[in-house]
Structure 1
Amino acid sequence: MLARTPRLPPHSKTVAPAKGAEAVDVAAGLHLARAKDRPLVRALGTASEIGSWKSLLALSAGTYALGLLARDRRLAGAGRHMLEAGILAGVVKTSLKRTVHRTRPNVLMDEGFYARGWSGTSVGPWQSFPSGHSALSAAVACAAARAYPEIQAPAYAVATGVITAQVLRGAHFPADVLAGAAIGIAAEFAVDRLREGHRRPER
């Protein structure tokens, strides 16, 4: 059994999902998470922790360090790019979580209430939007694939698995993971453009 969600923050109140896109998103999230308590989905959720910020930043930093030690410029460059993209994605997603709050699907399913609004909160069950696992997984996968196109398929497959698991386990609604993935992709692209600008010779 999950622990009861702490009381609502002072600035929040229980609401009904608005009609339209939000209602569709909530309904889809509840439907996709209907098996969240089954052993297979729980195991998938545990495995998806490879997409946590601690795991991915450790992987990125480790890749960078290994590249430096091995004097492998390509590997070191990949690790640095993964690290920078992951950090930028993390900063953006954290900023959004501190700006808005939204309860996770498992709160609605297990405790019967849904809340969203301004501003953000540090209470985990109210940090559904956006998905941090999705943001960092997408950022790091895109960075790795850019450096090593030959691993593009498995890198994207792992990231997709992590992102999908967040919905199936009831941790995020579909819109949360889509927003997170978009943040990760944009962060990696921004870091690559910035690095490209630094590499471009002056005229």
Structure 2
Amino acid sequence: MKIITAGIIIMLNTIIQPVCIAQKQSLVHDSIRFSETLIKKSSLKKAVKMPLFLITGGMLSYIDSDIIGRQEIAEERNENIPYFHTGADDYLQYTPLVFAYGIDLFGVEARHDLKTRTELLIKSELLMMLAVVPMKQLTHQLRPDGSNYSSFPSGHTAQAFVAATFLHKEYGHLSPWFSIGAYSVASSVGILRILNNRHFSSDVLVGAGIGILATNLVYFQAGHKRKQKYNMALSPSYNHGNLGLNFNLRF
């Protein structure tokens, strides 16, 4: 009888033990997957938080000129420095890019190799343009100087902040001064666009947000591409003569 009981106990252990181990492995796997999802969502939130704040502020100012006072800023500029003009902003918008590739010649290693970071930059530039160009056509906003109807948003500022964010992503981990310098240059481009009477403050805010957002999303996709935990698709659209951008992000 004792032999039979012992045999039953051994048999039950043989059956139950693998089940318990499988359940523990499943729980561990689920915990890891849940943690990865939280990290992923946290990373995405960090990538979009600041640029969406800038875009929202600019859009509100565009809709209601009393917010941030875009008309008042333009009037102050016309009263105090009506003849101010400089072409520096045409060149400063690309300065972070020149610097990023220039320091590579001195042996300063970027986060990614030359081929990879160039591909990321091209994708960021395309995404930025796919947002800026259709918005200019749709809003048809007259510039402060009355030269044309492509004021909103600022393309120069968007380009400057793509360049600044690119430098930040590739070299910011080495020293915060790379990021501080890059964003200072980009901010000066936005300020100069206002001082040159080419843009309202709302145009500059939205342009800055688009530049940062485009680059952040491209780098976010690149950072999670291997895990294949989500699908991101970007595609241009054309409807009744207007260019647009379709953006889909699925977890």
Does residue 96 (structure 1) correspond to residue 135 (structure 2)? The answer is yes
Given candidates 83, 99, 114, the residue that maps to 1:37 is 83
Encode CA deviations 1:78-128: one digit per residue, 9 max, x unaligned: 333333212211221001011111111112xxxxxxxxxxxxxxxx61111
Aligned-pair RMSD on alpha carbons? Answer: 3.4
Identity percentage over the alignment? Answer: 22
- Matched residues in 1 for 2:64 and 2:220: separation? 39
- Matched residues in 1 for 2:159 and 2:202: separation? 16
- Matched residues in 1 for 2:67 and 2:152: separation? 12
Unmatched runs of 5 consecutive residues or more in structure 1: 1-16, 108-123
For normalisation by structure 1, the TM-score amounts to: 0.65
Structure (1/2) with the larger strand percentage: 2
Query: Offset at 1:154?
Result: 1.1
For normalisation by structure 2, the TM-score amounts to: 0.54
* Distance change >3 Å, CA 133–CA 20, structure 1 → 2: closer
Q: What letter is aligned with 1:35? A: I
Q: Secondary structure at the match of 1:98?
A: helix
Does residue 194 (structure 1) correspond to residue 221 (structure 2)? The answer is yes
Given candidates 87, 97, 101, the residue that maps to 2:126 is 87
Unmatched runs of 5 consecutive residues or more in structure 2: 1-61, 230-251
- Matched residues in 1 for 2:74 and 2:151: separation? 12
- Matched residues in 1 for 2:199 and 2:123: separation? 25
* Distance change >3 Å, CA 90–CA 36, structure 1 → 2: farther
* Distance change >3 Å, CA 75–CA 153, structure 1 → 2: farther
Does residue 74 (structure 1) correspond to residue 112 (structure 2)? The answer is yes
Rg bigger for which structure?
A: 2
Partner residue, 2:89: 48
Runs of 4 or more off by more than 4 Å in structure 1? 17-20
* Distance change >3 Å, CA 160–CA 73, structure 1 → 2: closer
Contact 2:151/2:198 (8 A) holds in 1: yes
Query: Offset at 1:167?
Result: 0.5
